[in-house]
A = this chain, B = another copy of it.
């Protein structure tokens, strides 16, 4: 579990960090709104613990920014103020829960657990063809739901072909997708990979086929 702690008071921050670590959480620590925004943008967290009183503004203002960026990370807001209208603000701005300081650490933990209970599986783009599913985000090929191990280069070939299922992919464009720019390949390495991929697909799936077209390139086709 990875947590972003946004708290400028050094003592409290350090105590919380230690306590959270005791529960096997990996904690990143930001001390300002600005820093917090950067962290949240560049890393991915399971939850954010957010103090309101920060040197460069009200922590709450971070929440709508995150949401606008499509970041749905659960946010637990910590604050010294505890009257009702403040709570309402926090929850209405898209925070997920609210905890008034001072708090018992146990309660913090329990609330955190409640937030983390939600599914953590990030949805990524998946392309289907035949009985194949290619999960781009996780760089994984599934055959009828079962993962199939593929070497890196073959995976790249398959990816490039699947992105244009049923249509031609130029040889040059395949080369670029598989080898990039830096490698200067001077053999039939590409053909080799295509060949090996073909065999594996035939064994595992049998419903897709890679056709070569002389002088042009390759295309992947579903066979009926």
Interface of A with B (CB < 8 Å)?
1-2, 23-24, 26-29, 39, 43-44, 84-85, 87-88, 91-92, 94-97, 104, 106-107, 109-111, 113-114, 116-123, 125, 135-140, 147, 149, 151-152, 155-156, 159, 163-164, 166-170, 176-182, 211, 213-217, 219
Task: Offer 8 A-B interface pairs, CB within 8 angstroms, sorted by A.
Answer: A24-B155, A26-B156, A39-B181, A44-B176, A84-B106, A88-B107, A118-B121, A147-B168
Q: Are A180 and B2 in contact (CB under 8 A)?
A: yes
Contact with A111, one of B91, B155, B166, B168 (Cβ below 8 angstroms): B91
Decide: A114 near B139, CB < 8 A? Known: A181-B39, A213-B149.
no
B residues less than 8 Å from A106 (CB atoms): 84-85, 88
On whether the beta carbons of B113 and A117 are closer than 8 Å, the reply is no
Selected from B43, B119, B176, the residue in CB contact (under 8 A) with A119 is B119
Distance from A19 Cβ to chain B, minimum over Cβ atoms (Å): 13
Report whether B95 and A149 are in contact in the complex, using a CB–CB cutoff of 8 Å. Answer: no
Q: Are B138 and A110 in contact (CB under 8 A)?
A: no
The reply to whether B163 and A121 contact each other, CB–CB distance below 8 Å, is: yes
The reply to whether A166 and B147 form a contact with Cβ atoms under 8 Å apart is yes
A119 to nearest B CB, angstroms?
A: 5
CB pair A28–B180 under 8 Å, yes or no, is yes
A219 to B180, CA, bound (A): 27
Q: Give, as a whole number of angstroms, the nearest-CB distance from A28 to chain B.
A: 5
Contact of A163 among B120, B140, B167 (CB under 8 A): B120
A44 to chain B, nearest CB (A): 7
Q: A26-B177, A147-B167 are in contact. Are A92 and B110 (CB under 8 A)?
A: yes
Q: Which residue of B lies closest to A166 (CB)?
A: B147
User: How close is A193's CB to chain B, nearest CB, in angstroms?
Assistant: 13
Partner of A91, one of B110, B135, B179: B110
User: Across the interface, which residues of B come within 8 angstroms of A94, CB to CB?
Assistant: 117
Return the chain B residue nearest A116 by Cβ.
Answer: B136
Query: A27 — which chain B residues lie within 8 A by C-beta?
Result: 180
List the 9 shortest-distance A-B pairs measured between CB atoms, nearest first: A26-B180, A140-B168, A152-B215, A91-B110, A84-B104, A88-B110, A91-B114, A28-B181, A138-B168
